[in-house]
Amino acid sequence: MDKIRFATVWLAGCSGCHMSFLDLDEFLIDLADQVEVVYSPVGCDLKHYPEAVDVCLVEGAVANEDNLELIYQVRRNTKLLISFGDCAVTANVPAMRNMLRNSAEGVLKRGYLELADANAQLPHAPGIVPELIDRVTPVHEVVPVDIFMPGCPPSADRIRATIEPLLHGQQPEMAGREMIKFG
């Protein structure tokens, strides 16, 4: 049996979902026998998202040009895309900047010029600091999502209950408080 080509992606979020993924403890050993991790910020140093990915967990909201480019590439190259955590599902904390009802430029001016104590300057390093997009959005507002796994972060039990059925060619049951509670 071929191993499932498995990936995780980290967009605009705190990495708490990935930390919760690592809380799978011994199940990670079982998972390693059944998947080939082809891309992840955890334990991989790959620079380009590969083709023919079977399952990808996407953590974080879409907040900048790099996030936007990556999520389009992820969707093109992935069979089953899972919004992984509240930031991916709703945009959550990263979207707090949307409340300023400003463009990305307005947010940057407020944060780096108006509120600066010293050395007020806008960050500008093309190719190093990605340009913000005007509005932070959840993943499903940019590309189609196949499974929503809320939680801030989702517990290791929820992550396992979502992934394990996929290993056996089944869909996870995303119902009930233990699987769909936010926060």
DSSP 12: B
Q: Is the peptide bond before 153 cis (omega within 30 degrees of 0)?
A: yes
The CATH number covering residue 18 comes to 3.40.50.700
Q: How far apart are CA 175 and CA 12, in angstroms?
A: 26
Residue 151 structural domain = 4-180
Q: How far apart are CA 177 and CA 131, in angstroms?
A: 37
Check: CB of residue 1 under 8 Å from CB of residue 12: no
Q: pLDDT category, 181, cuts 50, 70, 90?
A: confident
DSSP 55: E
> In total, how many domains does the chain have?
1
pLDDT tens profile 11-38 = 999 999 999 999 999 999 999 999 999 9
Q: pLDDT category, 102, cuts 50, 70, 90?
A: low
Give the CA count within 13 Å in the CB-facing half-sphere of 57: 27
